[in-house]
Amino acid sequence: MEAPVGRRIRNLRKAKRIRQKSLARVIGLSPGALTNFEKGRRRISLDWLQRLAAALDTPMAYFLTDDSPGKSKITPGDPREKRLIEAWRSLGKQPRLRADFFRLMKHLRGGRL
């Protein structure tokens, strides 16, 4: 899954005309690590993905969409996605609440997440 996420990061970054070095600096990451994320050589954590999404002003879910035929695409800026991100952020670093949040999302998606 790392490669599709990385491609989406890179494509969005380029579409917004942001240099890799600048984006890396804004989120506190080395340019080399960002390159590894974009090329799918390194797995990106949810925390880093959240920082990237915020820096690119895009819902985190945009990077995690399934591009399979027949699936609806999430577009950056969808207000429903922003509400989900805000709900996630409101949980803070509480592992139990975050686990419950993921279980709820998995249940709502029919057992897949």
Contact (CB, 8 A) for 89 and 95: no
> 17 versus 73: which is more confidently predicted?
17
At 1 the pLDDT is 52
For residue 36, how far is the Cα from the chain centroid?
A: 15
The pair of three-digit structure tokens given for residue 20, joined into one six-digit string: 């890799």
Contact (CB, 8 A) for 28 and 69: no
What would the pLDDT profile of 41-80 be if each residue is shown by its tens digit?
A: 988 888 899 999 999 988 888 887 665 555 555 556 666 7
Q: Does residue 46 sit in helix, strand or coil?
A: helix
- Going along the chain from its start, the domains and CATH numbers come out as 2-64 (1.10.260.40), 79-108 (no CATH)
CA atoms within 13 A on the CB side of 94: 10
The pair of three-digit structure tokens given for residue 94, joined into one six-digit string: 């509480």
The verdict on pTM exceeding 0.75 is no
Contacts of 73 (CB under 8 A, 6+ apart): 65, 67
Question: Where does the pLDDT of residue 30 fall: very low under 50, low under 70, confident under 90, or very high at 90 and above?
Answer: very high
At 54 the pLDDT is 92
